[in-house]
Structure 1
Amino acid sequence: MKYDAWILSNVWPFNTSAYAEAVEVWHEYRIPIIISTFTILMIVRTVLHTRLPREKLSITPPPASPTLAAEKKIAPVGTGNKKPISEKVTEKVPRRIVGGVKKRNSSQDDVVTGDEKIQVLVFFSSLTTTTEKTAKVFTEGLAQKLKSVNKASRFIEPEILDLSYIDYDEYFINPPKSDSNVQYFYLLLVPTYNIDTVLDNFLEHLQETHNDFRIDTAPLSPLLGYSVFGFGDREGWPTEADGFCSQATDIDKWMAKLTARKRAFPLGMGDPKTDATERLKEWKDGVEDILEHIAETGGLGEGVVGSGDAVESDVEDVDEDDDGEVLFAEQKVAQKKTKSSKKDDMNDMEDLGKTLNKIAAEAEESGEIEIDFTNFSKKAKKPTAAPVIKEMVPKDSPTFNSLTKQGYSIVGSHSGVKICRWTKSALRGRGSCYKYSFYGIASHQCMETTPSLSCSNKCVFCWRHGTNPVGTTWRWVVDPPEMIFDGVKAGHYKKIKMLRGVPGVRSERFAEAMRIRHCALSLVGEPIFYPHINEFLSMLHAERISSFLVCNAQHPDQLATLKHVTQLYVSIDASNRESLRKIDRPLHRDFWERFNACLDILKKRRFEQRTVFRLTLVKGFNIDDEVEGYAALVEQGLPCFVEIKGVTYCGTSSSASAGLTMQNVPFYSEIQEFVLALTAALQKRGLGYGIAAEHAHSCCVLIASDRFKNERGKWCTRIDYQRFFELLEGGGEFRPEDYMGEETPDWAQWGNGGFDPRDERVYRKGKNKVPLAVKAEEEEGGE
């Protein structure tokens, strides 16, 4: 303040009082004034900056590519280019590449419209003209057949092409583009050679095309479909695993990858010395059916043979990636090419056996060890180690993880046990399955297991969604029956104990459940496939556990050697060859012959043990117009019982490519109509069958032979289990009638629903909890 006063008195020449007031105002409001001023300046600067146009920092264009400059007749910068900058020159710029592969939806698959033509291309390879002659005859027959089918006008004359003379790039990188109005269907007929031929180059081309990062992994997906037939020599390569038709197998695999799994018909294989003519005819008939289907519908179809999906899950692969088929890590095994040690032996498939025998004879004379005919090379090599037999379901495999997530306990490497939902229901007093109504099996005392998780079918209604392994022959480690028996019992009891705290479990039934009385060998897979099935059955019977074994009628040799079981089931899922092929999707090529052989075996053994035909009805597959066919099969096998059951819907079966929906599940009224029609057909043939029992809750009905009526004419479908074990332990011969049990209860007979009145029927979704018998009485009273 003293300094201010000195200023006012000595320096400031004006009115001191006014200045003093100004200073006081400044001292009091200086901070708001500074802030306001700064804010205003920033606002003004921002407004001016946005309104003024920006100027380019440089008017010099970027250096032009010398190549582009030459094409456009423009001198590059720095070479005397004096054109004005304002002149605009349009230059090509590199196309932006977006990563990733565009996935095709099923709705985007190529289909044939009304205006498009279908061209069948038949490719072949041959050294001694054997395959060439066969391919020409095949193509001529195919051409004649296509002229007589529906929509024949859509087909162009089939063309035959030799793989030795064509340019692979024109056909196997992209389909031919000669006419946009034509869609192509590939057929390949190839033999398997034991020398270097054009097929080695062809296979290398297919593999490189699939793995080339510059090309789509499935460049042949616009094709309508493809199929491969291979010729081979079983004298040298008796099985597919040993190399029989190995090159055809490889071509089929790589074509599946390149076409996005458009395998129209399964790989065909035949030996020219034995069955090639018959196998080729079967393959040709299947291909013709598919072509006719394409012409009528525009596509391969879904859920049936010809959908392009896997034939079986144990197709061996050569690398880690697969083409979307059901392949598991433990099943991806490297295949080795089959080549001879002598190049000058230019043999077609009809001479392969002689060559192999010659090589084997030379090795034997020289004292060398046995030659592995699956691994030919320039020089015969001695095997360094014995082949490793793999496990069916290793602990670190996706198959193991998938099955355990579904509630299975895996025992050893190929067996499993699981708690049935009816076991849980019986423990809570909510009813047992149809086996209790028909045969007196208490579900809470029943163990559901299998000694083989592998199956030889890929049924469209399989509950396991195709997650279990499949195969036609046993090629895995074999676990001892003692280990399996102890393991499945321990796994079952462990799961029963886990239900101890479930609300509603009855204590007396829980105590009863800790004593296994019955074993249903029907969990998954093919129990009869297990090499030691008879030893396993003996262990069950030694502890007085009844055995109910279900097989799929594809293993007649094992069925013929099967010893006594309490009750033997055979799945009869269709009445004719074509229907069985579509619904069971069997892996065996002679599936129909195997099927009929099993029925003949059952007919011979019908007086040794109780035999049952199990019919699983799937609407749209095996119900319509098949009653007479089923009656003929019953007449052929003459089983003791026929079970008719509606398929159980278990969610979308996308893994098995079945495509089942709730529309495929028949109503119980439809099952009843079918049963009445089948019974009438059987009686018309004089076979002596009648409707004995039903279980409406399972959508299941039992037709029985008149052999199982007592002297009073009453049905006796139940089993005297104690008597069965006494007869079995006696060692003598006995008949199914010898251990026929008591009369079938009234509540289980036809027309009464089949629900045990001691249990409580629980209706879901808010429905009343009313026993079927009570409900039926109420309905009758209302009428």
Structure 2
Amino acid sequence: MAHHTWVLRFLLPFEIADIVALWHTYRVPIIITTFSILIILRTILHLRVPRVKVSDTPPLSPKLPAEKEKVPIEERNVVAEKVPKRIVGGLKKKKSSQDENPSTIQNAQVLVFFSSLTGTTEKTAKVLTEGLAQSTKELSKSTSTTFLEPQLLDLSYIDYDDYFITPPKSEENTQYFYILLIPTFNIDTVLDNFLEHLQETHNDFRIDTAPLSSLLGYSVFGFGDREGWPTEEEGFCSQAREVDKWLAKLTGRKRAFPLGMGDSKVDATERLQEWKEGVEDVLANIATTGGLGEGVVGSGDAVESDVGDLDDEDEVLFEEQKVAQRKTKAQKKDTLNDLEDIGSTLNQITADNSEPLEMDFTTYSKKARSAPTTVTKEMVPKNSPTYTALTKQGYSIVGSHSGVKICRWTKSALRGRGSCYKYSFYGIASHQCMETTPSLSCSNKCVFCWRHGTNPVGTTWRWVVDPPDLIFEGVKAGHYKKIKMMRGVPGVRSERFAEAMRIRHCALSLVGEPIFYPHINEFTAMLHKEHISSFLVCNAQHPDQLRALQPVTQLYVSIDASNRESLRKIDRPLHRDFWERFQACLEILREKRFQQRTVFRLTLVKGFNIDDEAEGYADLIEKSLPCFVEIKGVTYCGTSSSAGAGLTMQNVPFYTEVCAFVEALNSSLNRRGLGYGIAAEHAHSCCVLIASERFKVDGKWRTRIDYGRFFECLESGRQFRPEDYMGEETPEWACWGNGGFDPRDERVDRKGRRKVLPVATAGEEACGGGGGGEGEACAMESRDE
């Protein structure tokens, strides 16, 4: 207390202002002196305190390894202090099958994939698979690897995701080896979808860049035609080379044997044998060493990827950036565009090609990729094998994707030997009917199709689009030209020839898918403007186009199966969602049944869609409620192409079988109370018509069409119903039970002699059977005709 009193006494004489003034005068010396004193004190303390060295690692022991130094636990904790582990960037690479121990390959299986339009490649694939089965069986005996029976798989039927995103799952620790036999055609086929799938899989950022790297290996053999494709650059084995390239990417370059290529007309057998021997050597090496080895000499050049296969992408990107910068500087003065310039450029592009350009807006790697240049091609170029094949069959190609052809019923009607079923059912005179299509391409490759791969197939329109007026004038000119060629044919009736020079009807059903044409509504409008009736056939695979279709005289939808599996086997659709598309088209047809005449077209194929399927078809009819249901036996054209597609005369039903099916179907519809009945028949075409009772007046069927009334309704601009242009009564000779042959005409045999037959009844006439002449054999009529 005395001390504090003394301090107060000492500070009292000083004023606060004096203290502040003293601080401002001497603050720098005070701060320096204080800082110096602190440094001196820190130095003295540091020198006086002893330092203990702590090692990051245990000290080396001078003793032998066997004599481990015993360190107390307390000291061990201090010495072996943990240090954070450094993480090095990058993923650990998995060992490939070539680095694995051969003993890990317990079971191996060869999968042989093929694609075939005409059946030739399928037959070759079967022979190859049988040969591989023998060779792998011998390998199983002489090595520790067990080879399972090779499997043969058609690319048209399999789900790509099950085989070409990841190898098949196996509980037997089985590893797979892929073999692919790929033909190349100058048309769009299922291989286009397959190649698109491979490319999308490779570019999908969600999928590993080499998802098939666990395969033992793969090899591809391609079939081509050098006569049709003079050089490889123009397409010889082009699709096989593309498949080989993309599989190299997806498998991590596990090409077991180089790409083989053979000319189907020259050396395909020899080249395939050489390639097969090489593949068998590779399989033997895999069974012995567990890997592909250092490579083998092959019969073809290995085509590697031309994009995305470089190891050092950073250097590539850097070089591309420098090149881009140089180009930008060089072109900046000449090509600098403002928004108006860009707009004019886009307008110019649109004017040159009215179709939208395909563009790739996706980039999956840091390597710069430019969008591919889209080159719009013709569907059927004049110098293509497709053009040659179709013209040999009697088609006149109009523009780049349309065609016209007179059917044998037109020729028959001109000579008074009978018209097709359309005359019996609907009053269409065959000699006044033009059969054409604005699209030769189709999205199916049906087993009963006459063309068997000679016409293009595809799922999207990516060709040049011809204007509708060009097609309209071209098909008329082509039709009249072919009619004029009939002037000198013996037996042609002059009055019918004169009538034939005035087209009254148009059947849009020749080949391909007419509704596929982007301007189909404009084309049918041109027909209607000249009072030409329109009968359009579609295959129930394009719901968007079907929904947008304007009213036609009669709308057909081919219903070739009653369930998903049968439809896959018969129509062999290219769309992956074919059944969903099929169902959507049925719903659209139900909506249109009061706007235009709708028809179900059932093509019966014995062994495919007849046995126990009447109830299934009844379900489909109940869903859509079409105005008419046409049931027709399948046509067999008697060529090797038909057999290659799996169709023989054994698949052609007798007319008795068709009649039995019709009666079973009609009974099922009656049990459901849907209001249908068997209205007419044309035994000559093996065809029967079931009609809705909407077209039965006073107990009489009226299935024919009043064409004049149809055009009046159409030109009125008002909405109308199918009943508004219902025609006269169905002739007695065309009704069910009377055969359906026009009494004005006469039936002849193959040599043109008049053939007198009793009225065809169930059991008396068979479609596709022996006998019959030019106006007799219904195997000469296609399903579309």
TM-score under structure 1 normalisation? Answer: 0.58
Q: Report whether the alignment pairs 1:159 with 2:174.
A: yes
Q: Report whether the alignment pairs 1:704 with 2:714.
A: no
CA contact (8 A) 1:612 1:641 kept: yes
Cα deviations across residues 626-685 of structure 1 (Å, max 9, x unaligned)?
Answer: 111000000011000000000111023527831311111110010000000000011111
Of 671, 691, 706, the residue aligned with 1:720 is 706
Whole-angstrom CA distance in 1 between matches of 2:419 and 2:552: 22
Q: Report whether the alignment pairs 1:380 with 2:395.
A: no
Residue 763 to residue 198, structure 1, CA distance change in 2 (3 Å): same
Q: Give how far 1:387 is off.
A: 2.4
Q: Give how far 1:693 is off.
A: 0.1
CA contact (8 A) 1:340 1:376 kept: no
CA contact (8 A) 2:472 2:526 kept: yes
Amino acid at match of 2:565: E
CA contact (8 A) 1:436 1:442 kept: yes
Q: Report whether the alignment pairs 1:758 with 2:768.
A: no
Residue 560 of structure 1: aligned partner? 547
- 1:262-341 equivalent positions in 2, closer than 5 A: 337=307
Q: Give how far 1:770 is off.
A: 1.6
Whole-angstrom CA distance in 2 between matches of 1:372 and 1:437: 53
Amino acid at match of 1:523: L
Whole-angstrom CA distance in 2 between matches of 1:388 and 1:381: 18
Q: Report whether the alignment pairs 1:770 with 2:780.
A: no
Whole-angstrom CA distance in 1 between matches of 2:255 and 2:637: 31
- 1:434-513 equivalent positions in 2, closer than 5 A: 434-513=421-500
Q: Report whether the alignment pairs 1:415 with 2:402.
A: yes
Unaligned runs of 5+ in 2: 1-122, 141-145, 152-159, 182-197, 224-241, 264-299, 316-323, 343-357, 766-785
Residue 607 to residue 206, structure 1, CA distance change in 2 (3 Å): same
Residue 21 of structure 2: aligned partner? none
CA contact (8 A) 1:433 1:698 kept: yes
Q: Give how far 1:189 is off.
A: 13
Whole-angstrom CA distance in 1 between matches of 2:641 and 2:625: 36
Q: Report whether the alignment pairs 1:596 with 2:583.
A: yes
Higher RCO, 1 or 2 (CA under 8 Å, sep at least 6)? 2
CA contact (8 A) 1:520 1:549 kept: yes
Whole-angstrom CA distance in 2 between matches of 1:253 and 1:565: 54
Of 537, 550, 557, the residue aligned with 1:550 is 537
Q: Report whether the alignment pairs 1:399 with 2:386.
A: yes
Cα deviations across residues 238-273 of structure 1 (Å, max 9, x unaligned)?
Answer: xx99x9999569999999977999xxxxxxxxxxxx
Of 116, 131, 148, the residue aligned with 1:119 is 148
Residue 738 to residue 471, structure 1, CA distance change in 2 (3 Å): same
CA contact (8 A) 2:178 2:217 kept: no
Q: Give how far 1:379 is off.
A: 5.8
Residue 202 of structure 2: aligned partner? 192
Whole-angstrom CA distance in 2 between matches of 1:541 and 1:697: 30
Q: Give how far 1:137 is off.
A: 10
CA contact (8 A) 2:248 2:304 kept: no
Q: Give how far 1:703 is off.
A: 0.2
Q: Give how far 1:160 is off.
A: 4.5
Q: Give how far 1:763 is off.
A: 2.8
Whole-angstrom CA distance in 1 between matches of 2:377 and 2:568: 29
Whole-angstrom CA distance in 1 between matches of 2:147 and 2:220: 28
CA contact (8 A) 2:561 2:570 kept: yes
CA contact (8 A) 1:430 1:762 kept: yes
Residue 377 to residue 433, structure 1, CA distance change in 2 (3 Å): same
3-state SS in 2 of match to 1:659: coil
Residue 91 of structure 1: aligned partner? none
Residue 634 of structure 1: aligned partner? 621
Amino acid at match of 1:597: A
Residue 526 of structure 1: aligned partner? 513
Residue 742 to residue 766, structure 1, CA distance change in 2 (3 Å): closer
Whole-angstrom CA distance in 1 between matches of 2:583 and 2:756: 44
CA contact (8 A) 2:514 2:520 kept: yes
Whole-angstrom CA distance in 2 between matches of 1:379 and 1:527: 43
Whole-angstrom CA distance in 2 between matches of 1:728 and 1:605: 15
CA contact (8 A) 1:431 1:760 kept: yes
Whole-angstrom CA distance in 1 between matches of 2:255 and 2:653: 37
Q: Report whether the alignment pairs 1:749 with 2:778.
A: no
Amino acid at match of 1:619: K
Cα deviations across residues 732-752 of structure 1 (Å, max 9, x unaligned)?
Answer: 000000000000000000000
Whole-angstrom CA distance in 1 between matches of 2:727 and 2:743: 20
Q: Give how far 1:388 is off.
A: 1.6
CA contact (8 A) 2:221 2:259 kept: no
Q: Report whether the alignment pairs 1:110 with 2:125.
A: no
Cα deviations across residues 261-302 of structure 1 (Å, max 9, x unaligned)?
Answer: 9xxxxxxxxxxxxxxxxxxxxxxxxxxxxxxxxxxxxxxxxx
Whole-angstrom CA distance in 2 between matches of 1:132 and 1:610: 41
Whole-angstrom CA distance in 2 between matches of 1:428 and 1:133: 56
Q: Report the RMSD for the aligned CA atoms in angstroms.
A: 4.9
Whole-angstrom CA distance in 2 between matches of 1:172 and 1:506: 59
Residue 676 of structure 2: aligned partner? 689
Cα deviations across residues 107-136 of structure 1 (Å, max 9, x unaligned)?
Answer: 6751879x99873899xxxxxxxx999999
3-state SS in 1 of match to 2:386: helix
Q: Give how far 1:477 is off.
A: 0.2
- 1:730-741 equivalent positions in 2, closer than 5 A: 730-741=716-727
Q: Give how far 1:376 is off.
A: 8.8
Residue 570 of structure 2: aligned partner? 583
Whole-angstrom CA distance in 1 between matches of 2:502 and 2:161: 67
Whole-angstrom CA distance in 2 between matches of 1:508 and 1:538: 29
Amino acid at match of 2:368: A
Residue 428 to residue 767, structure 1, CA distance change in 2 (3 Å): closer
Q: Give how far 1:713 is off.
A: 1.2
3-state SS in 2 of match to 1:458: coil
Whole-angstrom CA distance in 1 between matches of 2:715 and 2:741: 34
Residue 251 to residue 429, structure 1, CA distance change in 2 (3 Å): farther
CA contact (8 A) 1:407 1:418 kept: yes
Residue 194 to residue 738, structure 1, CA distance change in 2 (3 Å): closer
Amino acid at match of 1:500: R
CA contact (8 A) 2:213 2:250 kept: no
* Count, aligned residues: 515
CA contact (8 A) 1:339 1:375 kept: no
Q: Give how far 1:430 is off.
A: 0.1
CA contact (8 A) 1:389 1:477 kept: yes
Residue 109 to residue 436, structure 1, CA distance change in 2 (3 Å): same
CA contact (8 A) 2:633 2:658 kept: yes
Amino acid at match of 1:729: E
Residue 412 of structure 2: aligned partner? 425
Amino acid at match of 2:701: W
CA contact (8 A) 1:435 1:441 kept: yes
Whole-angstrom CA distance in 2 between matches of 1:531 and 1:246: 37
Residue 208 to residue 550, structure 1, CA distance change in 2 (3 Å): closer
TM-score under structure 2 normalisation? Answer: 0.58
Whole-angstrom CA distance in 1 between matches of 2:636 and 2:449: 10
CA contact (8 A) 1:192 1:245 kept: no
Whole-angstrom CA distance in 1 between matches of 2:256 and 2:644: 20
Cα deviations across residues 362-387 of structure 1 (Å, max 9, x unaligned)?
Answer: x9xx999998568999963667x952
Residue 103 of structure 2: aligned partner? none
Whole-angstrom CA distance in 1 between matches of 2:363 and 2:472: 39
Identity of aligned residues (%): 69
